[in-house]
């Protein structure tokens, strides 16, 4: 019983990490109809940037004040938002009218670029680093053998807060309405006086900021940060992507549900079957979903027009 | 050329080439490939020495892989990111055959951990190796069928993700396997048990190195000094090139290109798109499996799941995309260059991938169809302007790459010591000059060889046959002309006949 509950707690924590990243995929797909392969690398950069900031403040050795975590989080989110906007401006905007295959290849190029530049000695380097403890890591609660870590608690609650903000932004503000309009039909939205390019930039910014938050939480939760081209990141990004697809890409709430689902399958599979096959389960889910219901659980299937 | 008195059916029959000509045209590439492979093995490899001969092997294997990827990515436009997965399937299947097969056939040195190569040139060992290559290809082709079927429902981004997922699944499954059995233990188990012992995350160690760059000749004492790896590799290169070229100029290839350009339109004109896509996947996977089998038996490479991961797929994709999706000679050129360049520029190895990535992005924005597009290199001949631009561009690119790398290195190493920096600049300049010269020479040499080969190929290629549509059109216009002649009188009919004859 305690194993079951513990796995449940772990999967909710992991699921919220996936959700933060999956939202970026879904948001970008919503407005531009393409999969931003470089998104998982923005996640990686988020983790590394938060590490660099925390190290620059000297919190690695001395311990950290109470405002350390929010400060690092906000800075990392701002920097990654800028990075995301820059990527969109330089790499994707020139290809707005190009075939989708070209955009896809460009996205892979951007992803490779971020990975490998991050590996350079004067950027982040190739050594794995350990994240400075900007958040006290202790077991805050223990209920009949189930440990709830402080990090998990903070991650889950902050994720809920961020998701709430995103929900508010999309469905309750003018900007959100503009985003939905562009997502629905870019041309008509432009005719109605919406600056579509600006909306796309903002969407990229929001998605990247959420990915940065995910990256930082990931670094906090697991303590160590691997080099930026490590396969772990690619896999992590892919799983978040799978979450977005399972939930129905383009659907914000679906992405969260998909992320939780993926995390549940992964964690329960690892706990009750074989821990080495975690990635296997996720990709099998992806393939099954794509074959059975390509539009995802909550996606609306679109009729292709010629 | 067309004799209007003959009936249409007879004229069409007249256009089919003679059996002798057809056989000749089918056979000559094989003969040429055979001779080239033989020359590379017997003449060039000993001349170059082991290091460059190994490079030759790497190039051959890269060509097999990149050209096969070109079939599915370039011709059919089905963006696959799991080519290394097929390579892994083929490689492991082949290694299973040669390693455990050699043991079961009793070809092992007592006490040795690995399995040595066995038999002379085209001896039993080589036959086992060739069988293993084909077996690896077939197993990979089956995997290609499995991946090709979902491709019927998916396109673009989703397909890329599924193929990527396939590569990852293969990797995870291989990582789950147990350690390689040592010969003594392996002799006692069956094939099914043996297939569960693939080395896991450490890789399949101890495979016999049939693909080695050393010449196959025996030394004075009559001992085998090496194996004809280059010969076999380039035989497979020949095979994949012939298949790719034949495919490209055939109906099937045109169907693939049609699917790539517009699937709906292709379907509308009667192309069986599902079949075309599956055929592309299976063909590509087959040759990827052979490439993997060659890789598995190559000297100095280890067959492990990490080596054949996502990164390998991306390397191949870069070759195809930069060269031009659909251009076979372009892909051969890119595979050759992108295998040689990292070797030449070992000093700035860490900048390799950022530069590739940038090149990928820039090519996509500036020249979305890739450097050569769908054309072959020799088809570019009339457009020297472009060629000149490409050469200048390549020179500028190489120079800026080197300069960029050097500047970064200096900044990193000794930013404060200006004098030292100046001195290293001067020494680096000479080194850079050497590298640019070398790289440029190699590039131009390969280009020239391909141009000549291409010109020869063009000469020997079957003449463009008039299509059935053209003949039908001609026939109908003749009929119209004849009607006209009947209605009025002779002189105009003569003229229209002349016009037809001149066409």
d(C-alpha B433, C-alpha B224), whole Å:
42
Contact B365 A283 (CB under 8 A): no
**Is A106 in CB contact (< 8 Å) with chain B?**
yes
Instruction: Give the A window 236-265 contacts with B, CB below 8 Å.
Output: 238, 241, 245
| Residue B490 pLDDT level (bands cut at 50, 70, 90) | very low
CA-closest candidate to residue A203, choices A32, A19, A2: A32
Put simply, the answer to whether A109 touches B364 (Cβ < 8 Å) is: yes
Per the model's pLDDT, the better-predicted residue between B405 and B116 turns out to be B116
Chain A environment of B317 (Cβ under 8 Å): 105, 108
Of B157, B169, B351, the CB nearest to A280: B169
CA–CA distances in Å: residue A197 to residues A110, A168, A201, B417:
20, 22, 6, 46
CA distance B52 to chain A (A): 28
pLDDT at B496 over 60: no
Please report residues of B whose CB lies closer than 8 A to that of A290.
150, 153-154, 158, 161-162
Structure tokens at B341: 């360049």
Q: Does A286 touch chain B (CB under 8 A)?
A: yes
**Contact present, A80 and A211 (Cβ < 8 Å):** yes
Please say whether the beta carbons of B333 and B323 come within 8 A.
yes
* Contact list, B365 vs chain A (CB under 8 Å): 91, 94-95, 106
Among chain A residues, the shortest Cα distance to B260 is held by: A101
Phi, psi of B333 (to 5 degrees): -60, -50
Identify all chain A residues contacting B357, using CB atoms and an 8 Å cutoff: 109-113, 116
Euclidean distance between CA atoms B391 and B437, whole angstroms: 13
Check pLDDT > 50 for residue B494. Answer: no
Beta bridge partners of A130: A224
Please tell me the distance in Å from B51's CA to the nearest CA on chain A: 28
To the nearest whole Å, the CA of B353 is away from the closest chain A CA by 6
Q: Which of A35, A100, A113 sits opposite B357 (nearest CB)?
A: A113
Closest residue in chain A to residue B163, using alpha carbons only: A287
Calpha distance B330→B27 (Å, rounded): 24
> What ipTM did this prediction achieve?
0.85
Amino acid A56: pLDDT: 84
- Residue by residue, DSSP assigns B412-479 as HHHSS-HHHHHHHHHHHHHHHHHHHHHHHHHHHHHHHHHHHHHHHHHHHSPPPPPPHHHHHHHHHHHH
Alpha-carbon torsion B356, B359, B361, B363, what sign? negative
CB contact under 8 A, A276 and B175: yes
Among the partner residues A91, A105, A280, nearest to B172 by beta-carbon distance: A280
To the nearest whole angstrom, how far is the Cα of A33 from the nearest Cα of chain B?
10
In this prediction, residue A304 carries a pLDDT of 46
In angstroms, rounded to a whole number, what is the distance separating the alpha carbons of residues B229 and B219? 17
Q: Do B412 and A95 touch (CB under 8 A)?
A: no
Answer with the residue of higher pLDDT: B11 or B413. B11
Q: What is the pLDDT of residues A175-212, one digit of tens each?
A: 999 998 998 888 899 999 999 999 999 999 999 999 99
- Contact between B314 and A108 using a beta-carbon 8 Å cutoff: yes
Percent of residues, chain A, with pLDDT higher than 70: 93
Cα B478 to chain centroid distance, Å, stands at 46
The verdict on a CB contact (< 8 Å) between B354 and A284 is: no
pLDDT value for B386 = 59
Q: Which of A50, A15, A68, A9 is nearest to A213 (CA)?
A: A50
Contact list in B for residue A91 (CB cut-off 8 A) is: 361, 365
CATH architecture of B18-326: Orthogonal Bundle (1.10)
- Mean pLDDT score of chain B, rounded to an integer? 76
pLDDT the model gives residue B499: 44
Q: What is the pLDDT of residues B424-435, one digit of tens each?
A: 655 665 566 666
Inform me whether the pLDDT recorded for A79 exceeds 90.
yes
Q: Is A110 on the interface with B (CB under 8 A)?
A: yes
Spatial separation of the C-alpha atoms in residues A163 and A51, rounded to whole Å? 24
Provide the pLDDT for residue B388.
66
CB contact under 8 A, B175 and A241: no
- Give A299 or B437, the one with higher predicted confidence: A299
User: Inter-chain contact B364–A120, Cβ cutoff 8 Å?
Assistant: no
Q: Which of B167, B183, B25, B17 is nearest to B88 (CA)?
A: B167
Considering only CA atoms, which of B70, B58, B138, B63 is closest in space to residue B284?
B70
pLDDT tens-digit series, residues B89-139: 999 999 989 888 888 887 766 555 556 666 666 777 788 889 999 999 999
Residue B492 has pLDDT above 80, yes or no: no
CB A107 within 8 Å of CB A130 = no
Residue of A nearest to B317 (CA): A105
Q: Residue A253 region, left (φ>0) first, then alpha (ψ -120 to 50), else beta? A: alpha
- Cβ of A113 within 8 Å of Cβ of B172? The answer is no
Is the pLDDT score of A293 beyond 70?
A: yes
The reply to whether residue A102 touches residue B364, judged by beta carbons under 8 angstroms, is yes
Contact criterion met (CB below 8 Å) for B118 and B124: yes
The rounded distance, in Å, linking the Cα atoms of B125 and B118 is 5
Per-domain boundaries in chain B: 18-326
Q: What is the mean pLDDT of the segment spanning B158-167? A: 83
Cβ–Cβ < 8 Å for B372, B454: no
B66 pLDDT band (50/70/90 cuts)? very high
Chain B residue with Cα closest to A112: B357
């Amino acid at each position: 019983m305690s194993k079951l509950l513990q796995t449940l707690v772990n999967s909710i924590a992991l699921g919220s990490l996936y959700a933060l990243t999956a939202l970026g995929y879904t948001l970008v797909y919503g407005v531009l109809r393409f999969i931003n392969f470089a998104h998982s690398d923005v996640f990686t950069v988020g983790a590394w940037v938060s590490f660099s900031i925390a190290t620059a403040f000297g919190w690695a050795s001395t311990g950290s004040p109470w405002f350390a975590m929010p400060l690092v989080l906000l800075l990392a989110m701002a920097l990654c938002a800028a990075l995301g906007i820059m990527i969109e401006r330089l790499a994707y905007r020139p290809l707005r009218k190009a075939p989708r295959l070209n955009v896809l290849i460009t996205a892979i190029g951007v992803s490779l670029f971020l990975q490998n530049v991050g590996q350079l000695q004067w950027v982040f380097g190739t050594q794995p680093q350990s994240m400075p403890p900007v958040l006290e890591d202790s077991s805050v609660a223990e209920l009949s053998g189930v440990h709830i870590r402080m990090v998990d608690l903070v991650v889950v609650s902050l994720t809920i807060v961020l998701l709430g903000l995103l929900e508010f932004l999309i469905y309750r503000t003018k900007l959100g309405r503009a985003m939905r309009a562009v997502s629905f039909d870019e041309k008509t939205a432009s005719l109605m006086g919406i600056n579509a390019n600006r909306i796309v930039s903002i969407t990229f910014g929001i998605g990247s900021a959420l990915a940065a938050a995910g990256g930082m939480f990931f670094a906090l939760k697991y303590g160590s940060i691997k080099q930026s081209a490590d396969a772990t990141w690619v896999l992590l990004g892919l799983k978040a992507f799978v979450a977005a697809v399972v939930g129905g890409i383009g659907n914000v709430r679906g992405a969260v549900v998909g992320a939780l689902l993926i995390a549940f399958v992964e964690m329960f599979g690892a706990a009750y079957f074989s821990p080495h096959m975690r990635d296997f389960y996720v990709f099998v889910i992806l393939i099954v979903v794509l074959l059975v219901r390509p539009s995802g659980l909550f996606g609306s299937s679109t009729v292709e027009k010629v | 050329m067309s004799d209007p008195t003959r009936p249409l059916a007879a004229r069409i029959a007249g256009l089919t080439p003679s059996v002798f000509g057809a056989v000749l045209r089918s056979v000559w590439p094989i003969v040429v490939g055979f001779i080239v492979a033989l020359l590379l093995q017997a003449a060039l490899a000993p001349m170059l020495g082991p290091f460059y001969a190994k490079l030759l092997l790497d190039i051959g294997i890269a060509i097999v892989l990149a050209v096969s990827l070109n079939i599915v990515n370039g011709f059919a436009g089905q963006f696959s990111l799991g080519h290394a997965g097929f390579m892994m399937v083929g490689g492991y299947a082949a290694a299973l055959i040669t390693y455990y097969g050699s043991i079961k056939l009793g070809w092992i040195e007592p006490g040795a951990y690995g399995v040595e190569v066995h038999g002379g040139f085209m001896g039993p060992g080589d036959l086992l190796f060739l069988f293993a290559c084909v077996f690896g290809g077939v197993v990979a082709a089956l995997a290609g069928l499995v991946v090709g079927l979902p491709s019927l429902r998916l396109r673009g981004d989703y397909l890329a993700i599924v193929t990527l997922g396939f590569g990852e699944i293969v990797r995870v499954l291989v990582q789950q396997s147990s350690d390689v059995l040592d010969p003594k233990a392996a002799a006692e188990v069956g094939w099914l048990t043996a297939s569960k012992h693939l080395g896991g995350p450490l890789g399949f160690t101890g495979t016999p190195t049939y693909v080695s760059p050393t010449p196959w000749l025996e030394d004075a004492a009559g001992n085998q000094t090496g194996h004809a790896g280059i010969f076999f590799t380039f035989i497979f290169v020949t095979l994949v090139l012939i298949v790719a070229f034949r495919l490209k100029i055939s109906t099937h290839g045109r169907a693939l290109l049609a699917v790539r350009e517009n699937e709906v339109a292709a379907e509308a004109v009667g192309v069986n798109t599902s079949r075309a896509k599956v055929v592309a996947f299976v063909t590509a996977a087959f040759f990827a499996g052979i490439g993997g089998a060659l890789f598995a038996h190559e000297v100095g490479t280890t067959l492990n799941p990490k080596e054949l991961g996502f990164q390998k797929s991306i390397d191949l994709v870069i070759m195809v995309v930069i060269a031009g999706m659909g251009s076979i000679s372009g892909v051969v050129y890119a595979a050759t260059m992108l295998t040689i360049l990292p070797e030449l520029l070992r000093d700035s190895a860490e900048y390799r991938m950022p530069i590739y990535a940038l090149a990928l992005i820039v090519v996509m924005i500036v020249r979305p169809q890739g450097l050569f597009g769908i054309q072959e290199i020799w088809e570019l001949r009339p457009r020297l302007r472009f060629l000149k631009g490409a050469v200048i561009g390549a020179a500028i690119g190489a120079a800026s790459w080197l300069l960029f790398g050097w500047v970064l290195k200096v900044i990193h190493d000794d930013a404060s010591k200006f004098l030292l920096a100046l001195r290293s600049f001067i020494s680096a300049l000479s080194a850079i000059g050497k590298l640019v010269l070398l790289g440029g020479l190699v590039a131009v040499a390969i280009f020239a060889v391909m141009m000549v080969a291409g010109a020869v190929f063009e000469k020997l290629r079957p003449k463009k046959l008039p299509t059935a549509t053209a003949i039908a059109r001609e026939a109908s216009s003749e009929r119209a002309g004849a009607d006209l002649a009947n209605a009025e009188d002779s002189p105009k009919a003569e003229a229209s006949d002349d016009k037809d004859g001149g066409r």
